[in-house]
Amino acid sequence: MRQIRISIIAIFSFVTFQTNAQTLNFFKENTYNLKYNPASEINVRQYFGIGVSHINIAAGTNLAVYDKVITTKSDGSKEIDPKVFFKHIPKNDYGEIFANLNLEVLGFGMRYNSKLYFTFSSQFRFENTLFMPRGLFQIATDGNMAHIGEDMIITPQLSTLFYLDNSLGFQYKINDRVTIGVRGKYLLGVLGANLKENFTLTTDDDWNLHLKGSALLNVYLPDELINTASTSANGKYFINDMGKLFSLGSLDWRTILGSLRNSRGGGFDIGADVKITKKLGIKASLIDMGWIKWDRNQNGSISYRAELNPDHPMYKNGELVFDGITNSEISYLSMGNWLDGTNLDKIRLDSVFIISEVPNESYVTMTNPKVFVECYYELSKIHKFSAMTRMDFINKKVFPSFTLGYNLNVKKVLDIAVCYSFSKGSYANLGAGFSFNPGNVFHIYVAADNLLTVISPLKTTPNLSVQTGIYFSIPDKKTKKVKKVKEIEEVKEVKGEKDVKGEKDVKGEN
């Protein structure tokens, strides 16, 4: 069998995880930096927000940069250069498309005393990530002969979660230098899906292609969104009838709220803030560590398994073996024949898989935890510099990033934050935002990351994260401080008299 080099020009090329939603962390007077660390400093006695107190929208993918894939010919026309396209796909394990939404419906906090602070938050979380395996890109760039004997994973992985996150937090100030925080969480699942197990493609020493494995798709949706599925169908008919399996047009707030009683879970956040000196400090946190158990007793829970079709003419000993195309067939190949299905019918790609509904037990989906470690230096009450490492854990994969941040605080009324993030393969993520809080009575803020996507969309990967909101607060009471001034007894002769000053208390006000 001759070497097969795939030259399908896909829309998406994937690089590495793109950082998002970083800027809000660097606001000094904004209470919602608690989202990153439950031990972050809180400078108000009470705060309250409802509906629009915190909104975070993040979406994007590691697309091939337009300018590196689309070239302009001498006559002004555009063309896609496959070699350039594949050249810019690094050999990472998986590429990624993501879409996240965080909407807080109710949040408040109150100081109990000088050491203890309570917080509560109820927020809808939508986290959707699709991973494309490296094997598909390697075959496209290298050809299958470059990977003889390797089992190359070709199954995408999917992680989708939509849930209500209810948290109760406690922040305790041990002393002037150490503050700790913890949040317990009660999670209520709305919908979820995960695609697991893998199909693999292997090239043997005779250049034959071997396809083996299976895939399992677990889906949980509210009852109203699930239709009765056929017991089994080949891949072609399953895809054609996919729209009949789910009634997503019926998704509304009544359906969402009604589903919250069905699947439950828990989780926690922990964090600490340690001031090494008056100006230098370290913060560390683990957030979004949690799980949801999807109840198999509900009608809205369903699973589909994709397996190789044993009736396919290429099926041998539990796998499909493609041993090549004859010379007469090669002369017949053309793009038109592929598009109209003539050649597809020859190798029956439409019936490679059998997809069937299968019973399954209740399953557990983990949320996506994150670790933050930040070192900060307060040059003055106005200027603060930070360096932060972030690690995201998604589908048992780790995505590290590093961020440099700067905060300008103007008389505790205006916070301006700027940050610059980079990770492997992505070095151009600029974030900026402001938080305005006159009198510590109401706070309005806007922060955005990956701004270079907006400034230069053709030269950067398309990723953007925006956070905004408004909440109300009651400032801390002004307290009277007693300053003890101790003077050393001294003897002065003023006009022949000795003036002796001892210890006394001088009361003043802040």
Mean pLDDT calculated for residue range 33-54:
92
Could you tell me what percent of the chain has a pLDDT over 70?
Answer: 63
pLDDT score of 289: 95
Mean pLDDT calculated for residue range 442-453:
86
Which of 65-69, 157-161, 325-329, 442-446 shows the lowest mean pLDDT across its residues? 325-329
pLDDT score of 502: 45
Which of 24-38, 65-79, 461-475 shows the lowest mean pLDDT across its residues? 65-79
Quick check: is 255 in a domain?
yes
pLDDT digits (tens, 9 = 90+) for 210-247: 888 888 888 887 665 555 554 455 555 555 555 555 55
If 0-12 CB within 10 Å is exposed, 13-18 middle and 19+ buried, where does residue 506 land?
A: exposed
Three-state SS annotation for 5-20? CCCCCCCCCCCCCCCC
- The SS3 of residue 444 is strand
Quick check: is 499 in a domain?
yes
Question: What span, in angstroms and rounded, lies between the C-alpha atoms of 235 and 233?
Answer: 6
Mean pLDDT calculated for residue range 406-425:
86
Question: What span, in angstroms and rounded, lies between the C-alpha atoms of 119 and 72?
Answer: 56
CA atoms within a 13 Å half-sphere pointing along the CA-CB vector of 70: 11
pLDDT score of 255: 62
Q: Which run of H or E residues covers position 94?
A: strand 94-111
pLDDT digits (tens, 9 = 90+) for 427-440: 667 889 999 998 88
Quick check: is 69 in a domain?
yes
In this model, does residue 64 exceed pLDDT 70? no
* Contact present, 429 and 18 (Cβ < 8 Å): yes
* Contact present, 170 and 181 (Cβ < 8 Å): yes
| Residue 32, amino acid | Y
Got the DSSP string for 298-318? STTEEEEEEEE-TTSTTEETT
State in Å, rounded, how far the first CA of the chain is from the last one: 86
Average pLDDT of the chain to the nearest whole number = 75
Secondary structure letter of residue 208 according to DSSP: -
**Non-local CB neighbours of 6 within 8 Å, separated by 6+ positions:** 139, 140, 143
Quick check: is 476 in a domain?
yes
CA 230 to chain centre: 35
pLDDT digits (tens, 9 = 90+) for 448-502: 887 776 676 556 666 778 899 999 999 887 644 433 433 434 434 434 444 434 4
Got the DSSP string for 95-120? EEEEEEEEEEEEEEEEE-SSSEEEEE
Could you tell me what percent of the chain has a pLDDT over 90?
Answer: 28
pLDDT score of 122: 95
Instruction: Determine the length of the chain.
Output: 510
* Contact present, 153 and 135 (Cβ < 8 Å): yes
Residue, of 327 and 163, whose pLDDT is higher: 163
In this model, does residue 396 exceed pLDDT 90? no
Quick check: is 334 in a domain?
no
Residue the block writes with tokens 């995960």: 194
CATH assignment of the domain containing 158: 2.40.160
Quick check: is 325 in a domain?
no
In this model, does residue 81 exceed pLDDT 70? no
Mean pLDDT calculated for residue range 58-64:
66
pLDDT score of 440: 81
Quick check: is 332 in a domain?
no
Quick check: is 318 in a domain?
no
Mean pLDDT calculated for residue range 414-421:
91
In this model, does residue 1 exceed pLDDT 50? no
**Non-local CB neighbours of 507 within 8 Å, separated by 6+ positions:** 480, 482, 483
Among 301, 290, 288, 324, CA closest to 203: 324
Question: What span, in angstroms and rounded, lies between the C-alpha atoms of 289 and 286?
Answer: 7
* Contact present, 429 and 390 (Cβ < 8 Å): no
Annotate 226-264 with b (16+ C-beta within 10 A) or e (fewer). Answer: beebeeebbbeebeeeeeebbeeeebeeebeeebeebbb
Could you tell me the maximum CA-CA distance found in the chain, to the nearest angstrom? 126
348 Rama sector, left if φ>0, alpha if ψ -120 to 50, beta otherwise: left
Output the CA–CA distances (angstroms, integers) from residue 258 to 221, 298, 349, in the order listed: 11, 12, 41
What is the domain extent for residue 39?
Answer: 23-309+352-509
pLDDT digits (tens, 9 = 90+) for 106-141: 999 999 998 999 999 999 999 888 877 777 766 766
Secondary structure letter of residue 226 according to DSSP: B
Among 26, 53, 20, 54, CA closest to 41: 26
Residue, of 248 and 493, whose pLDDT is higher: 248
Count: domains in the chain = 1
Question: Among the residues of 109-203, which ranges form H helices?
Answer: 134-142
pLDDT digits (tens, 9 = 90+) for 226-235: 555 544 555 5
